[in-house]
Structure 1
């Protein structure tokens, strides 16, 4: 099940100085307030991911994954391309 992550960055850091919070955490609002007080700003929209590692990967992609998801859902050829790419990648890893 996907978890919602909220990312925060320090201004003028080119997205390199960041942290994130699990929005389902009981302490989310308190931690969010603390980060905002420290000068962090909310960066982008909420990221849905299966793990924090996946969330960070999506964050670092600077929302390229959003376009990939969109293309996959609206373009049959792109969907086929991604399927073949996945198959060939998984074959290499075996």
Structure 2
């Protein structure tokens, strides 16, 4: 797993050692994945108001769930973070 992006390494760990990403880190992972908010919402199966959910994660109004974060990291090319190296 490489991390050339501005994402703290503790945000790229298995769930039991994971640190919640900041809104800027969520935004960066979306950028690396090539997702707009609506495209990410569709890819993650978040439903009709999913883009609002994405905005709440970026705005740090709601924490992003680990499983969702892990999928986004994989789609962004940051690796399979739920497995130990």
TM-score by length of 1: 0.22
Q: Normalized per residue, which structure has more strand?
A: 1
Flag the structure with larger Rg.
1
